[in-house]
Structure 1
Amino acid sequence: MVREELYITVPNLFRCPISMDVMRSPVSLCTGVTYDRSSIQHWLDSGHDTCPATMQTLPSKDFVPNLTLRRLINLWAQSHGPPSPSSSSSSLTVSEQQLKYVIDELKGKNEGENSKLIGNLSSIADFAGFSDENRRSLADFDGFVSAIVGVLSRGGAKMEILELVIRILDSILLDDRGREQAHVLISKRIQAFLTSIRLVLRNASLKAKIESARVLRSIANDEQSKRAISDNRDLVLELLNLLTSESDYDQALHDAVYSCLIAISATRSKKAQLVGLGIVNLLARTLSDRNTNKSVAENAMKLLSIVSTCAEGRSAISEDRRCAAAAVERLMKVSTVATEDAVAVLWSVCCLLGEKKTKESVVRSNGVARILLVMQSGYCEGHPVRRMCGDLLRVLKIGCSSDGFGLGSYQSKTTHILPC
């Protein structure tokens, strides 16, 4: 009963606008809006260039710690107790003895034998998620990151241990020093590490699956690890299965998976592989769903634009009529980057592939008007997006006018902004 009262009385000022949880490390963007560091870092790392609360385009992606708000939250937490059942006031402090005990147990491979280890790992996970300073102290503690990565690189741990270790690693990867250490250690035994991650993606809780996808996204910044992830067909299939699972349907999970797939789709062969595994169908479903939130839609559009750069991707997009219509629908309704990705998709299938029915689908979806709006929305002469819009207008007019479609049949009061 007391805990429920605490949930209700948490001041809105203390909640992150993205996660809606009490902020552990509040930071402010140049727009003046404050977010929890891990949430906004994930938003920006996913390719967004806007403030999530205001949708203003960010002239700078830098953020600064909001020390005043953090002090207020800490004072509130001390006087009111923990905001959720998963954390306690004691979880905000971890002793040197606890860390040494955990390191010894993990390195001694006794992780499945006692509940004391699980309790300590849970406390450390809460501690790591609380602030940047906590993550830095764990990264600096001799042998800790090595012990955590070792559990995943060695295999054989129980799922409860794996979930806690993934949770800790997900937090540590937000720290520059911790991320550098972890990447080096993971790369040395990358295949064994990926085997453990795949096990978590298949059998763990929803929260652990989200954290695992974020871990994969982080380590994909290392070229060797990126290749290992993209070459691991079973792991990629596991990620795609998460996008089709009804029991695991969750927008945060889809957001994390799409971010990971974007990170590993660097080469033509990897794009073609994703197309062959059915990614276009999944993206079409996501983008056609009006309930898809903006972050997921933007990541889905980014991935669709990536696969549209290969012939297999363009062919699959043209065959799925939902894709072109969804790209048109999202124009000017998402961030600048996502709008540009949608233009790139339409340009790829209409101008490069030139498939007639796709062009007709674009016109029927009011694509001409939307492309005109994008073209006139501030892009200077010669800008790639402006050039692509001009190309689209030409092919839509030429390619479809004989059948009653295209610019020739388009009637609108916006005709005064037609290109010369």
Structure 2
Amino acid sequence: MVRDVDLYVTVPSFFRCPISLDVMKSPVSLCTGVTYDRTSIERWLDSGNNTCPATMQVLNSKEFVPNRTLQRLIKIWSDSVQTQKDNRVDSSASSVVTREDIEVLVKEMRAKKDKNDRLSKFMCFAKESEENCEFLAKFDGFVEMLVGFLVGDKDINFLERVVKVFVLILNKVGDYKALRLLILKQNNDCLSALLAVLKQGRSVSSRIGALKIIEAITLDAESKKMVSEKEGFLLELVKLISLENDPRLIEASLSCLIAISMSKRAKTNLINFKVIAELRKLLTGGQKASVSIIEKALKLLEMVTSLREGRAEFCNDTACVEAVMNKVLKVSSEATEHAVMILWSVCYLFRDGDAQDALVKSNGLTKILLLMQSNCSPGVRQMSGDLLKIFRVNSKFSSCLSSYDTKTTHIMPF
């Protein structure tokens, strides 16, 4: 009965490509304003056609641009459909599961009898109350069984469901040190399974769940090193912070990157994976990036610019410097601290000329003066004072300061 769900899914007409009539995977728009799936329209144009298939207008240009808004809408709709399917499967499981049933269910799971059905029962049981979540977390051998399924199964749909159950009880596990040993001692097989969920998972919630599990077990330098050096893991996280993804997934990915990227090697790898360019996109994403995402993006940028290579790439990206300057005010006190620390490091401590020029172009003097008049922390005030010295010492900026002689002398730190 669950399989019939697919037959009754109504696809919004504008999600379908006018050529293939399938849901678009990579929607692009022609100069006529009509949107097609990239593969279909490329095939049409490569065949020698010079018209818009839907309107038959002759094309002034065969160039097309990605329709990011439609792509995000399709992604949200697709995730919603998948969630509905999961809920149908969950509701098909017996909703009346008692604590006495758990022992029998665990034995049946270990015997690999209808694993998906039993996982659904565990999920229903856990969702009923916090007490049930704690009961499962403390049930002898239950967590070990879930870890074993992560190691021993390659079916991505099953792995996603294991992760969802895992996350329901994660806050009740208590001893994360024991969980870390349990997961990381499996010759990285658990990490491989979680990486597979990140790469191939169809559900946003399961991918976020995989990130939460990783973050929960990275308690010390050794575990952070093991996770960050897992082949493909850092690169996948950098891909996940793209603005095209769900904001919840972006935020979870940033949190995980901050948690595991403490070593110099990890930061160097992130720089090589062009994380600074991705962070700049987040910082210039307008209303698409929440305050929390901006705070975490600035925190991660602060971490990678602690390395010489990171500072060099950051300073060469004028738009990124300007984006950080624009986040000094009107975001949050945490964002202000991270932004000022980044600018202070590259402009004052290491005296990078390109970064200083970008600071001026983004009206940095005015913003720092305003910041010093605000209720900022003593540390931010001290760094802001150091940044103002750059304008005074450098003759190129003297004209900028002259207009502030009468109005802002009272707040100048020198």
TM-score computed with the length of structure 1 as normaliser: 0.70
Matched residue, 2:217? 219
Q: Do the aligned partners of residues 227 and 143 (structure 1) sit closer, same or farther apart at CA in structure 2, a change above 3 Å counting? A: same
Give the percent of matched residue pairs that are identical in Structure 1 and Structure 2: 35
Matched residue, 1:103? 106
Q: Distance in 2 between matches of 1:251 and 1:281?
A: 18
Matched residue, 1:353? 350
Q: Distance in 1 between matches of 2:96 and 2:406?
A: 64
Q: Distance in 2 between matches of 1:349 and 1:123?
A: 54
Matched residue, 1:417? 411
Q: Do the aligned partners of residues 389 and 93 (structure 1) sit closer, same or farther apart at CA in structure 2, a change above 3 Å counting? A: farther
1:281 lines up with 2:277 in the alignment = yes
- Displacement after TM superposition at 1:281 (Å): 0.6
- Displacement after TM superposition at 1:223 (Å): 3.6
Q: Do the aligned partners of residues 132 and 89 (structure 1) sit closer, same or farther apart at CA in structure 2, a change above 3 Å counting? A: farther
Match among 292, 299, 302 for residue 302 of structure 1: 299
Point out the more displaced range, 202-211 or 255-264: 202-211
Contact 1:91 1:124 in 2 (8 A): no
Give CA deviations for 1:271-321 in whole Å, capped at 9, x if unaligned.
Answer: 122111111011011111102111111111110111111111111111111
Contact 1:106 1:151 in 2 (8 A): no
Match among 194, 197, 203 for residue 194 of structure 2: 197
Q: Do the aligned partners of residues 255 and 129 (structure 1) sit closer, same or farther apart at CA in structure 2, a change above 3 Å counting? A: farther
Contact 2:243 2:250 in 1 (8 A): no
Matched residue, 1:397? 392
| Higher-Rg member (1/2) | 2
Give CA deviations for 1:171-207 in whole Å, capped at 9, x if unaligned.
Answer: 2221252645422311322511111011111111222
Contact 2:242 2:250 in 1 (8 A): no
1:343 lines up with 2:328 in the alignment = no
SS of equivalent to 1:233: coil
SS of equivalent to 2:97: coil
Letter in 1 for 2:269: Q
Give CA deviations for 1:102-129 in whole Å, capped at 9, x if unaligned.
Answer: 4334434x2xx63xx3133123224435
Contact 2:224 2:261 in 1 (8 A): no
SS of equivalent to 2:132: helix
Matched residue, 1:262? 258
Q: Do the aligned partners of residues 409 and 233 (structure 1) sit closer, same or farther apart at CA in structure 2, a change above 3 Å counting? A: farther
Contact 1:298 1:338 in 2 (8 A): yes
Q: Do the aligned partners of residues 89 and 157 (structure 1) sit closer, same or farther apart at CA in structure 2, a change above 3 Å counting? A: closer
Match among 204, 226, 229 for residue 228 of structure 1: 226
Matched residue, 1:52? none
- Displacement after TM superposition at 1:170 (Å): 1.8
Q: Distance in 2 between matches of 1:151 and 1:189?
A: 12
Question: Higher RCO, 1 or 2 (CA under 8 Å, sep at least 6)?
Answer: 1
- Displacement after TM superposition at 1:165 (Å): 0.9
Q: Do the aligned partners of residues 145 and 367 (structure 1) sit closer, same or farther apart at CA in structure 2, a change above 3 Å counting? A: same
Letter in 1 for 2:283: L
SS of equivalent to 2:188: helix
Q: Distance in 1 between matches of 2:402 and 2:128?
A: 59
Match among 360, 365, 369 for residue 362 of structure 2: 365
Matched residue, 1:66? none
Give 5+ residue unaligned stretches, structure 2: 1-86
Letter in 2 for 1:345: I
Letter in 2 for 1:344: M
Match among 142, 149, 159 for residue 151 of structure 1: 149
Alignment map for 1:54-65 (pairs within 5 Å): none
Matched residue, 1:16? none
Q: Distance in 2 between matches of 1:224 and 1:132?
A: 32
Matched residue, 2:168? 171
Matched residue, 1:142? 140
Matched residue, 1:407? 401
Contact 1:349 1:358 in 2 (8 A): yes
1:334 lines up with 2:336 in the alignment = no
Contact 2:385 2:412 in 1 (8 A): no
Matched residue, 1:21? none
Give CA deviations for 1:362-404 in whole Å, capped at 9, x if unaligned.
Answer: 2222222222233343456xx43222111111113323x4266
Q: Distance in 2 between matches of 1:224 and 1:130?
A: 37
Q: How many residues align?
A: 326
Give CA deviations for 1:61-97 in whole Å, capped at 9, x if unaligned.
Answer: xxxxxxxxxxxxxxxxxxxxxxx86876988763235
Alignment map for 1:10-29 (pairs within 5 Å): none
TM-score computed with the length of structure 2 as normaliser: 0.71
Alignment map for 1:59-98 (pairs within 5 Å): 94-96=97-99, 98=101
Contact 2:163 2:210 in 1 (8 A): yes
Q: Distance in 1 between matches of 2:340 and 2:124?
A: 43
- Displacement after TM superposition at 1:155 (Å): 3.2
Give 5+ residue unaligned stretches, structure 1: 1-83
SS of equivalent to 2:241: helix
Q: Distance in 1 between matches of 2:333 and 2:122?
A: 39
Give CA deviations for 1:241-294 in whole Å, capped at 9, x if unaligned.
Answer: 223484xx1111110001000001112222122111111011011111102111
1:320 lines up with 2:321 in the alignment = no
Matched residue, 1:386? 381
Contact 1:318 1:358 in 2 (8 A): yes
SS of equivalent to 1:402: helix
Point out the more displaced range, 96-105 or 387-396: 96-105
Q: Distance in 1 between matches of 2:95 and 2:340?
A: 47
Give CA deviations for 1:211-262 in whole Å, capped at 9, x if unaligned.
Answer: 112221221124432111111131111222223484xx11111100010000
Q: Distance in 2 between matches of 1:86 and 1:227?
A: 38
- Displacement after TM superposition at 1:412 (Å): 8.5
Matched residue, 2:25? none
Give CA deviations for 1:337-362 in whole Å, capped at 9, x if unaligned.
Answer: 22100101111221133222321222
